Amino acid sequence: MPQRVLTRYIRDRDAWIKNLVFPWAAGNEAVSMIAQVVDENQYGPPGAKEIVAITAPFTAGKSTLVRGWANGYYRELIGAAIQSAAQPTWRPRPGVEAVHAPVVWIDLGSASKQRTLTMQILDYFGYPISGRIPDLIVRFSHVVANHQVRLIIVDDIHLLKVDQRDSRQVLDHLKHINTVLGQQGGSLVFVGKKDNKDGLVFNDPQLAGRLQLNELHTFAADTPSQVAEWQTFLHGAEHMLLPYLPAASPGLLASTHAPRIWRRTQGFIGDTAKLLKRATIQAALDGSWTITAGHLDAQRLSFRATTREQALRGRRAPAPVEHNVEVSA
């Protein structure tokens, strides 16, 4: 390519790569469970519904996974209106036009209170956020009806602690939100790290009867089956990255570099995704168009990954399993 064209191509290629979400088997099972519960809640009788909780260690990819699924669900609900540059709208009743916003994402704060949580949702839709808590709750009910809210995702749910009074009030409010959503066929999804000791969500007896839990884990590499699962994940990443690496050969990640990638990331999805994306970008910038050991070693990763990698130095990296790994396209 002429240099100007090549520069523009690399810029656009890098932007696309940074936005990729790599699939993995356990993650696919988790989003399938979310979809099943959401579907059952939509068509089941009105009232309080089952709540989905997706848990995993920090930087294990849970929020990215759920956000990716929620983006697709939003597009499904919006339909052809997604093609318009204007916000999709609908008429909840004669003479009233409202934005159609069926999916809401809330990042729970470390000091969240019942008022704060309600205000976050109201502010997102442009509703007044002043007034008494009962008034705010009534406005929230109007939000769900007026904007056809079908899914509210609450991230960092582990910040609700057993020993905090405000946390208990927030959890009780979330139960009410679940009931309000349930009247409209909507669903509530929690995302966060599971804390069996202090996590309020996972120690509440009333919630336990409605909670559908899916626990995600990092990739281990202690047994042949675990190594095979790791290679399967890397094979899926290859399927997405190799079209942008014309000098690379199949098996580059799943076989050749699998031990090195695991040693650098210890099987954490977040660190692994960053490592592979950055190495792929570097391979274009230096003109090699394939990922080398030098590319993988040169990338900066999280403090957790770097510290753990230093502790692993001298330990033999897990060897690739000698069998073919197949992943459906």
Beta strand ranges found along 26-120 (DSSP E) = 51-55, 89-93, 96-99, 103-107
Q: Which residues lie below 8 Å from residue 297, measured CB to CB, with a gap of 6+?
A: 260, 264
Assign 314 a pLDDT band (cuts: 50, 70, 90): low
| pLDDT score of 327 more than 90 | no
Residue 97 CA to its chain's centroid (Å): 32
| pLDDT score of 281 more than 70 | yes
Residue 71: its H or E element:
helix 62-78
Residue of 20, 19, 3, 14 whose CA lies nearest to 238: 20
Percent of the chain topping pLDDT 90: 67
Beta strand ranges found along the chain (DSSP E) = 51-55, 89-93, 96-99, 103-107, 151-155, 187-192, 211-215
d(CA 92, CA 184): 13
Residue of 292, 287, 285, 235 whose CA lies nearest to 14: 285
What number of residues does the chain have? Answer: 329
Assign 199 a pLDDT band (cuts: 50, 70, 90): confident
Percent of the chain topping pLDDT 70: 95
- Average per-residue pLDDT for the chain: 90
321 DSSP 8-state letter: P
Residue pLDDT, tens place only, 111-127: 678 888 889 889 988 89
d(CA 99, CA 296): 45
| pLDDT score of 172 more than 70 | yes
d(CA 10, CA 140): 46
| pLDDT score of 304 more than 50 | yes
Q: Which two tokens stand for residue 22?
A: 């790599």
Per the CB < 8 A criterion, the answer to whether 34 and 54 are in contact is yes
DSSP assignment string, 106-124: EE--TT--HHHHHHHHHHH
CB neighbourhood size of 203 (10 A): 15
| pLDDT score of 33 more than 80 | yes
Q: Which two tokens stand for residue 225?
A: 């089956």
> Which pLDDT score, from 0 to 100, does residue 326 have?
46
Q: Which two tokens stand for residue 30?
A: 């988790």
Of residues 315 and 299, more confidently modeled:
299
pTM of the model: 0.86
Residue pLDDT, tens place only, 235-259: 999 999 999 999 999 999 999 999 9
